[in-house]
């Protein structure tokens, strides 16, 4: 799967407008950085945010972290390693647009009762819904916690998340404010929004004063 041509177009427009540097939070694909090859790119990952958010599950043998697809596997594996939790990866395909089917979930679910599902983005919610229903129905998972860096606030995603809360053991949803969240999402039970403005402002300050950003990362 490739990034849409519009992603490259936006990069060209930004560079033509005169940007000197790009600071981005948890980009959807590494390919995006290549579109900005003529300007420096600082990629901020959500590792620290989600590690802190799910710190209470550290070292628990009944908890597993799950990647919805291969694209999220490296990110989820890092968080699992930091929290000393096992990790699993789902294999999916899309028979139709905005519809996902989980073929299998690869990982050891022996004794696991709680799953933490992590991804960079929720758009229609099809992948999240398919995965969580698979975990609840076939893997013996009783409680599910969901973390995502970006939520596009689509109506289809809201409907699916409400269904998961009511029927499939979804207990908590952690998002960030990279996109302003709409009232229907903010009123959902168990949903919280993390503010990343502090991280962004600190990185911008470091860059402006010619200081390394590694300590912020």
The phi, psi pair for 91, rounded to 5°, reads -110, 125
80 alpha-carbon distance from chain centroid: 14
- What is the spatial distance between Cα 21 and Cα 42, in angstroms, rounded to a whole number? 8
- What is the spatial distance between Cα 131 and Cα 56, in angstroms, rounded to a whole number? 23
Reported as type and span, the H/E element at residue 47 is: helix 47-53
| Cα–Cα distance list, 77 to 37, 84, 89, 133, 197 (Å) | 28, 10, 9, 21, 26
Where in the sequence numbering do the catalytic residues fall?
A: 92
- What is the spatial distance between Cα 52 and Cα 214, in angstroms, rounded to a whole number? 18
Reported as type and span, the H/E element at residue 24 is: strand 22-25
Q: Are 175 and 193 in contact (CB under 8 A)?
A: yes
């Amino acid at each position: 799967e490739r990034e849409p041509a519009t992603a490259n177009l936006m990069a060209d427009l930004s560079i033509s407008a005169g940007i000197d540097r790009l600071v981005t939070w948890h980009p959807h694909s590494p390919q995006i950085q290549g579109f900005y090859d003529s300007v420096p790119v600082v990629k901020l990952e959500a590792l620290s945010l989600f590690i802190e958010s799910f710190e209470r599950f550290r070292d628990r043998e009944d908890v597993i972290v799950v990647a919805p697809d291969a694209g999220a596997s490296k990110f989820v594996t890092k968080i699992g390693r930091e929290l000393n939790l096992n990790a699993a990866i789902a294999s999916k395909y899309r028979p139709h647009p905005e519809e996902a089917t989980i073929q299998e979930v690869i990982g050891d679910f022996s004794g696991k009762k709680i799953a933490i599902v992590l991804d960079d983005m929720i758009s229609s919610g099809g992948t999240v819904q398919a995965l969580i229903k698979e975990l609840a129905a076939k893997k013996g998972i009783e409680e599910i916690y969901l973390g995502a860096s970006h939520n596009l606030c689509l109506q289809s995603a809201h409907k699916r998340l409400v269904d998961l809360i009511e029927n499939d053991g979804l207990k908590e949803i952690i998002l960030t404010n990279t996109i302003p969240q709409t009232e229907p999402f903010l009123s959902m039970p168990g949903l919280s929004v993390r503010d990343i403005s502090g991280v962004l402002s600190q990185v911008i300050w470091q860059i402006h004063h010619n200081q390394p950003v590694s300590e912020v990362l």
